[in-house]
């Protein structure tokens, strides 16, 4: 049986705004673009679905191909990080393990908003090492949290 939950049960409007602000702040450090996507469905293979969402959100359209998606399947509390080709050329997927561990540790304690904000902050720090902020930076992808059903 599929467990149905609503995003509103999970994060308040204010908390969603906090996550958005975290993205905005993180993107001040890096030319990389970060997005957070929350799915209310239980996904068997989060990595696979995260890659699908990545394409769906047009995240492969950044100039330096350095978009990173923090994907969460909410009911199962499963998390995946997907980076674009520019990132994978420089960093492997193992690079994100520390970020995943941190997010999951927060989730285990029911600190959803903190987990997402902290995950975003860490992604920004990691991205900064290889993709520092540029003076001609544009906000290429929305900073708002996106949702799937
Ligand atoms: Ca940017
Ligand atoms: Ca952005």
Write out the DSSP string of 7-73: GGGT--HHHHHHHHHHHHHHTTTBSSEEEEEEE-S--S-HHHHHHHHHHHTTGGGSTTS-EEEEEEE
Q: What is the pLDDT of residue 7?
A: 78
Residues 6+ apart with CB under 8 A from 72: 36, 37, 38, 39, 78, 79, 103, 116
Q: What is the pLDDT of residue 4?
A: 59
Ligand nearest to the CA of 132: 1
pLDDT tens per residue, range 81-111: 999 998 887 887 788 999 999 999 999 999 9
With 0-12 / 13-18 / 19 or more C-beta atoms within 10 angstroms meaning exposed / middle / buried, residue 15 is middle
pLDDT value for 3:
54
Task: Write out pLDDT tens, residues 113-140.
Answer: 999 999 999 999 999 999 999 999 999 9
Q: Which residues surround ligand 2, an ion (CB under 5 A)?
A: 33, 139, 141, 143
Evaluate whether 20 touches 119 at the Cβ level (below 8 Å): no
The closest alpha carbon to 146, from 70, 60, 48, belongs to: 70
Is the pLDDT assigned to residue 35 strictly greater than 80? yes
Domain spanning 10-132: CATH 3.30.1280.10: no
Domain boundaries, the chain: 10-132
In this structure, which ligand is nearest to the CA of 35?
Answer: 2
Q: What is the pLDDT of residues 56-84, one digit of tens each?
A: 999 999 999 999 999 999 988 999 999 99
Indicate which ligand has the atom closest to the C-alpha of 23: 2
The reported pLDDT for the residue numbered 23 is 98
**What is the CA(8)–ligand 1 centre distance, in A?**
28
| Average pLDDT over every residue of 27-40 | 96
Residues less than 5 Å from ion ligand 1, measured at CB: 137
> What's the 27 CA to ligand 1 centre distance in angstroms?
6
């Amino acid at each position: 049986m599929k467990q149905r939950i609503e995003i509103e049960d999970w994060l308040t409007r204010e908390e969603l705004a906090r996550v958005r602000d975290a993205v905005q702040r993180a993107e001040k450090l890096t030319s990389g673009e970060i997005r957070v996507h929350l799915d209310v469905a239980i996904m068997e293979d989060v990595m696979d679905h995260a890659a699908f969402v990545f394409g769906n959100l047009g995240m492969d359209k950044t100039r330096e191909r350095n978009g990173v998606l923090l994907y969460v399947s909410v009911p199962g509390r499963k998390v995946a990080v997907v980076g674009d080709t520019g990132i994978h050329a420089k960093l492997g997927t193992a690079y994100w393990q520390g970020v995943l561990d941190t997010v999951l540790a927060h989730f285990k304690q029911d600190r959803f908003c903190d987990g997402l904000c902290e995950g975003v902050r860490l992604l920004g720090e990691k991205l900064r090492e290889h993709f520092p902020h540029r003076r001609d930076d544009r906000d290429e992808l929305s900073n708002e949290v996106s949702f799937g059903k």
